[in-house]
Amino acid sequence: MDFTVSQNFFEFVLQEVNFCLKKLAFAFLTACVYWFLTSLKICISRGLYDANAERHRMFLCWLRAVRSGENQGLYLFLVLHFLNGASAHGLSDEQKEFQKMAFDFAANEMSPHMAEWDEKEIFPVETMRKAAQLGFGGIYVQPEVGGSGLSRLDTSLIFEALSTGCVSTTAYISIHNMCNWMIDTFGNTEQREKYCPELCTMDKFASYCLTEPGSGSDAASLLTTAKLEGDHYVLNGSKAFISGGGDTDVYVVMCRTGGKGPKGISCVVVEKDTPGLSFGKKEKKVGWNSQPTRSVILEDCHVPVTSRLGQEGQGFNIAMRGLNGGRINIASCSLGAAHACVQLARDHLLVRKQFGDTLSSNQFLQFKLAEMATKLVASRLLVREAALALQEGRSDAVSLCSMAKLFVTDECFNICNQALQMHGGYGYLKDYAVQQFVRDIRVHQILEGTNEVMRMIIARSLLSESG
């Protein structure tokens, strides 16, 4: 039958859908059909039907399959659609290009080495420098100092794509980008020209130093001091759980130059070869093993006043501004892990046989896979909304960044964990990538502000709204 657009086309589709609903009687198909009709209306109104004709014909073929009782195909079609098309839906041609570039880099330069980097705890410097050649060392840093000058949404697309190849490495790249942005945004011309170009090429690497042994979620209570002596600050204290610590070159350090509370905190840049700067032992971690983690120790560490970013007392604001973007970045890394795990789960269901048939024929597992894909798409939409809000400087940006970090890191961990469960005993073997995604993504619910703190931020915002 020729499925060209006509007055009767929608009637035909609705008849087909009605027949399927009566036979299958489940709510999920209703949502899928709603999506199809809405998509088709938009395509026709924009003159895009021809470009999407294959997808619509494919959908109608699956409707026929459902009528004949072959309903497992519908689930697999939907999952394939979410994986192959939804991540690029609504993006500009330019965004699709650098998203594809990031996916290709992840598949060719990261994924083949992910397990080795994890097992041998390799910090893949040369691979990250290759990423920097594509503009990924300063994604949202201004072009005049070597950055790519892209938006927060663009950044999210890139980090999601890269994380499909290695979450741990991408997470470090996101932290490096955050530090680079902080220097670009709050530094003076001399500071920007001194640090940003080499950070953008990743000839030098950066670390973010806020957390201390005694101040995690309560960051404003930090104890590291910076006493002014002439034209230098003398820093004393220690920072904990520092990504890249000991292997990186530039440390963006929050320290206390004034009294108690957030207004007494300033931000200074400390270079690796500064006397008085040392590092603790390399931590043994559950995941994130392709990036070293150490304590950063400051003992009578003399740093020029000219290394301070912004004004005295502005440090806590700088740190929180950085973390707003960092929360979107880490949520984006979670999206990439979940994306990869849905693919792994789908592939496993298609080939693994039990009780004489593939697991993909089991309706319970079909439902689970459909739920995983749906949660992935919902999470992606929330991250992109938060990214737009932050880029536009909207009043709800902080809350949305917190919501994205809370919801997406929780849901994406559940997706990855469910994918492991679908693999059965194989999922617990290190020969299978799904277990590494689970291990790497777990910490996302803790860092950049724990998800409990995210709830506090969201609730505080809601309760402060008037009338």
Encode burial over 221-232: b for 16+ CB neighbours within 10 A, e otherwise. Answer: ebebebeeeeeb
Q: Is 70 a catalytic residue?
A: no
Distance (Å) of CA 188 to CA 183, 184, 192, 208, 311: 8, 8, 6, 19, 11
Active-site residue, selected from the candidate residues 54, 411, 448, 452: 448
Q: What are phi and psi of 272, to 5 degrees?
A: -60, -35
Triad 201, 97, 84: Cα angle to 5°: 120
Within 10 Å of residue 218's Cβ, how many Cβ atoms? 10
Catalytic residue numbers, as ranges? 448
